[in-house]
Amino acid sequence: MSVKPSVAANPAASYDVVVVGAGFAGMYMLHRLRGQGMTARVYEQGSGVGGTWYWNRYPGARCDVESMQYSYSFSEDLQQQWNWSERYAPQPEILQYANHVADRFELRSDIQFDTRVERAVFDETARLWSVSTSDGKVVTAKHVVLATGCLSNARMPDIKGLDRFKGNVYHTGHWPHEAVDFTGQRVGVIGTGSSAIQSVPVIAEQASQLTVFQRTANFSIPARNAPLTDEEREKFRANYPEIRRFAREEARNGIYTELPDRGALDDGDNERRSKYEARWNRGGLTFMSVYNNLALDKAANDTAADFVRAKIAEIVRDPETARLLQPDNHPIGSKRICIDTDYFATFNRPNVTLVDIRSNPIEEITESAVRTAAKDYQVDALVLATGFDAMTGSVAKIDIHGRGGQTLNQKWAAGPRTYLGLMSSGFPNLFIVTGPGSPSVLSNMIVSIEQHVDWIADCMAYMRDHGLETMEAAVDAEDKWVAHVNEVAYTTLYPQANSWYMGANVPGKPRIFMPYIGGVGPYRQICNEVAAKGYEGFVMGQAEQPRKVAAS
Ligand code: FAD
Ligand code: NAP
């Protein structure tokens, strides 16, 4: 006779919160939850912490927001003690920082690595989420937090014959852990976004021949990366309170810099050119902050775009290659601007060739070559710098069932719908960190991650203290927010680009401008006001026997 294991003999583990992902978002979420006495389990499909910085190990990978700002602010000791080596730290150092944070705050004991969350089902009677993982287990949790990342679902291009290629194929977003040496090899790089722009100059130094396949040229600004001096670090540290406050409250993109008070057309040609020149020489993302209307007014934007196009023509010696490298089909900044070290100059090397696959598309990959209508390009290795199914890709891979059995994928079939990018109606107690509808990828993401995690943790504490069992976005609040996100986006030039912000890089994905462009400062204020009004726009479900509100 077979004996059925009783539920009591094999109880499913139960937590206050299941967190999916152990990048910067999941790690800080765990730290905050522990701090308020909640039990949490983090699941991470990778074998270590760090998310983006765990997966993207391609040559040349580094941050594009300066490290003194692209770092956690929640611990004063941490920000005073960690020594960033360079203005833009390389990937191994950012990963080392993530590991340091995991050790310092003893996070690992609540993180289960090498485990994917496959499915999450909301039980409306028990008011609990039932979460299934790739190790065959099911656990329950009151809340689920998706800290799954906006750029974590690397996209393989749909190019015929890729599986036939005999050499090694690498995706920048899934780079091997062991060192890859291209010395003496003919390498092909497909794509010319940020990942390619960072890796091409480094690969060019190793490869015997590097062929870069470009469909769309991109704007890129020199990083002017350099080692950080003790004085520079100290200056930041001494001013951290103001720098962090400014980044959170005043900067639209979460980066401390001067705010422009003039439009590009308010200055004459010479003055404008000298301002662009100064920012070009300073380097970095703040090139787009020279004037206050570069994202709004096409004529203003053209002045900045023309300046960068002229720089490309100055740097690149072959006029035809220079012409191909000059972006001409989208306003500057309407795709995340790239930050490089010697990208354009790399095309002056005798071992580097640019191939325009806009006019001559790739037809297929053969066993040893990339074939266009015009020619076969023989390569020994292929680097796919083809990007991500961004913002919704990793969420869509989880089979999430909310009220009435509706799946999140069904609900988001025509594009993601959220209130504040934090929750989606019909999916109670399911939170998203930097979800679609929040500033997320338009910002210094650590600023946005910390703001979301703090808001979510405060909200869970509020629910506990007020005996609330469930919380979800109200349909009308969500509808208004989705309309607002869309409306604000269309006051800018951003929707004019076929970018991953619009889902345009994934065939069949709905074209919706996904991030909220209103700025991190105003957005934070909206979130704070919503919370101050008892979570206005959210529907709260009372427990049958409310717990006492903690005395303050
Ligand atoms: P991630 O770091 O993406 O972590 C999410 C984690 O969730 C991943 O480890 C993933 O494996 C895990 N996961 C997903 N689904 C599941 C599942 N179902 N089960 C279990 N685990 C799951 N932003 C900036 O602001 N400045 C920069 O300089 C910058 N540089 C970047 C460079 C690169 C190459 C890329 C790709 C992105 C960059 N970004 C940058 C954006 C970057 O993604 C964020 O800054 C930040 O690291 C995101 O942290 P996160 O924790 O939200 O997500
Ligand atoms: P990306 O910006 O989406 O660029 C992908 C590139 O691949 C584009 O040039 C695209 O061309 C090309 N491509 C895609 N599919 C193709 C196909 N089938 N055939 C030919 N070409 C194809 O991706 P990414 O460079 O990985 O960057 C994504 C984001 O990650 C960035 O925008 C940034 O936010 C972040 N990131 C930041 C840094 C940093 O500097 N710190 C570095 C890397 C990434 P089209 O444009 O024509 O589609």
Query: From the CA of 300, how far away is ligand 2's center (Å)?
Result: 26
Cα-based torsion angle of the residue sequence 217, 221, 225, 231 in order, rounded to the nearest 10 degrees: -160
Query: From the CA of 51, how far away is ligand 1's center (Å)?
Result: 5
How far, in Å, CA of 397 to CA of 526, rounded?
30
* Full set of structural domains in the chain with CATH: 11-153+390-542 (3.50.50.60), 154-218+335-387 (3.50.50.60)
How far, in Å, CA of 172 to CA of 170, rounded?
6
What's the pLDDT at 279?
97
Task: Give the contacts of 223 (CB within 8 A, at least 6 positions apart).
Answer: 62, 64, 87, 88, 283, 284, 339, 340, 341
What's the pLDDT at 542?
85
Nearest to 292 by CA among 267, 271, 268: 267
Task: Give the contacts of 448 (CB within 8 A, at least 6 positions apart).
Answer: 254, 434, 438, 439, 440, 520
**Best residue among 160, 195, 384 to mutate for probing ligand 2, ranked by most atoms within 8 Å of CB:** 195
Residue ranges lining ligand 1, Cβ < 6 Å: 20-26, 43-46, 51-52, 54, 56, 61, 63-65, 70, 116-117, 147-152, 195, 394, 397-398, 433-434, 444-445, 449
Query: From the CA of 336, how far away is ligand 2's center (Å)?
Result: 10
The structure tokens listed for 480 are 């208004």
**Best residue among 212, 336, 505 to mutate for probing ligand 2, ranked by most atoms within 8 Å of CB:** 505
Residue-wise pLDDT tens for the chain (552 aa)? 333 333 333 357 999 999 999 999 999 999 999 999 999 999 999 999 999 999 999 999 999 999 999 999 999 999 999 999 999 999 999 999 999 999 999 999 999 999 999 999 999 999 999 999 999 999 999 999 999 999 999 999 999 999 999 999 999 999 999 999 999 999 999 999 999 999 999 999 999 999 999 999 999 999 999 999 999 999 999 999 999 999 999 998 999 998 899 999 999 999 999 999 999 999 999 999 999 999 999 999 999 999 999 999 999 999 999 999 999 999 999 999 999 999 999 999 999 999 999 999 999 999 999 999 999 999 999 999 999 999 999 999 999 999 999 999 999 999 999 999 999 999 999 999 999 999 999 999 999 999 999 999 999 999 999 999 999 999 999 999 999 999 999 999 999 999 999 999 999 999 999 999 999 999 999 999 999 999 999 999 987 643 343 333
Number of other CB atoms surrounding residue 224 within 10 Å? 14
Which is the closest atom of ligand 1 to the Cα of 63?
Answer: 28
How far, in Å, CA of 516 to CA of 484, rounded?
9
Query: From the CA of 20, how far away is ligand 1's center (Å)?
Result: 12
Nearest to 328 by CA among 497, 495, 500, 499: 497
Phi-psi region of 466 (alpha: psi -120 to 50; beta: other; left: phi over 0): alpha
Q: Are strands 338-340 and 220-222 parallel, antiparallel or unpaired?
A: parallel
Q: What is the largest distance, in Å, between two alpha-carbon atoms of the chain?
A: 91
The helix or strand, by DSSP H or E, that contains position 377, with its residue range, turns out to be strand 376-378
Query: From the CA of 385, how far away is ligand 2's center (Å)?
Result: 6
Residue at token pair 């390498």? 187
Query: From the CA of 54, how far away is ligand 1's center (Å)?
Result: 9
